[in-house]
Amino acid sequence: MDTMSAEQIREWIVDHVDVAELRGRRVLLIVPDYTRTAPLETLFPALRSLLRPEVAALDVMVALGTHPPMPEQQIRTMLGIADNDPCDDVGLFNHAWDDPSQLTTIGVLSEVETQEISEGVLSMEVPVQINRRIHDYDVAIVVGPVFPHEVVGFSGGNKYFFPGISGPELLNFFHWLGALITNVGIIGIQDTPVRRVVDRAAALIPLERRCLAFVVAADASPYGMFYGTPEDAWRQASEISGQVHIKRRDRPYRQVLSCAPLMYDELWVAGKCMYKLEPVVADGGELIIYAPHMKDISVTHGSNIEAVGYHVRDYFTKQWEQFRDYPWGVLAHSTHVRGSGTFSDGVEYPRVRVTVASQIPREVCERINLGYRDPASIDVESFADREDEGVLLVRKAGEHLYRLRDGISTALPDH
């Protein structure tokens, strides 16, 4: 499948973004942070050139979820704003998920609703909070990529509102819902209970919603772009993502070297190196998250992660009274990184050995229940071209989902 050039992106935006419906209105663009591959340095200048002369206001909010805030210069670079451009016609904002003064409650998902949406997995009342700046605008336009995703099935669309610019309660609720279903049970699937939660919450947002969704290659060039409602644009994009971002394999691997790109600068996001590869790791096999640049578990959540460690889902569910008061989003991250497994008679049996090769010290890795390997001991090229031996090298992990063909077991083949 061919990808689009920068010039084709600019032409597509002029042809497909409906300026007439936005004319004279206040518009907020909601964009990903630097941990997502996206051609924002082309998209934003094109949108700014098209919209700014026509709309009453045009601002940008970075949908951080719970990621650390981006410095303004980093946002400008990501958006392709030249150093000599004051950009004083556009406001640039970070989302602040943990500042109650920056949030507003727009509704509630009732206990009955959550039970119905989650198909009985969770049943509780959840307040729906979002960044209060939305009240300053008439239209919010999500501008973001779509990939297979461990919590919601496919990222993008209304996920840029929740958790992108949401408060913690809903975020914790649906991340734990995804963890209970499991990464393998949800990743790369369009219609999931978590996607239905996100869409139901987004329907409560008191302004018009639009979405420019796209599906990209590793170099950020789009395979396709779609504009419309968040639901429609996302669905079209997720269909393309399902074709280009899912790699099917005929066998499981006993060892996988999953190389984290530089944009994954903490384990909170580098965990995607496990999420996307877990389905093709053989029972008892090893997945190595290779990230020699990585120093932190999580700037935001590190203390909670160190307190609970990384464990399979049932480790938490069978000891729920001990863990229920920790942030559920942290528990979800823990189980997604550790992968599937069981917990019986006080003993944990993970299906996969997860090893971290980074600047996080051995003693920390052991304390949080992960394996350790000195990244200097790893010769990346020694893992290449060994798939027939059950060894897989993924040079840029985290965005392509690897999945076994239907009917293939993760058990190692007989030799």
Q: What is the CATH number of the domain that holds 312?
A: 3.90.226.30
Same domain assignment for residues 15 and 132: yes
Burial class (CB in 10 A: 0-12, 13-18, 19+), 184: middle
Q: Give the domain range for residue 400.
A: 248-404
Q: What is the pLDDT of residue 34?
A: 96
C-beta of residue 412 within 8 angstroms of C-beta of residue 283? yes
Task: Look at residues 217, 244, 271 and tell me which one is the last residue of a structural domain.
Answer: 244
Mean pLDDT of 246-261: 97
Task: Look at residues 226, 244, 262 and tell me which one is the last residue of a structural domain.
Answer: 244
Mean pLDDT of 185-213: 97
Q: Report which of 152, 155, 128 is spatially closest to residue 38, judged by C-alpha positions.
A: 155
Residues 406, 411, 415: CA angle, nearest 5 degrees: 110
Q: What is the pLDDT of residue 167?
A: 97
pLDDT digits (tens, 9 = 90+) for 54-84: 999 999 999 999 999 999 999 999 999 999 9
Q: What is the pLDDT of residue 1?
A: 87
Same domain assignment for residues 135 and 215: yes
Is the confidence at residue 413, as pLDDT, over 70?
no
CATH number for the domain harbouring residue 194: 3.40.50.11440
pLDDT class of 407 with cuts at 50, 70, 90: confident
Task: Look at residues 244, 268, 287 and tell me which one is the last residue of a structural domain.
Answer: 244
SS3 99: coil
Q: What is the pLDDT of residue 299?
A: 95
Is the confidence at residue 409, as pLDDT, over 90?
no
Same domain assignment for residues 59 and 130: yes
The mean predicted confidence, pLDDT, of the chain is 97
Q: What is the pLDDT of residue 414?
A: 59
pLDDT class of 411 with cuts at 50, 70, 90: confident
pLDDT digits (tens, 9 = 90+) for 315-371: 999 999 999 999 999 999 999 999 999 999 999 999 999 999 999 999 999 999 999
281-291/371-372 β-pairing: unpaired
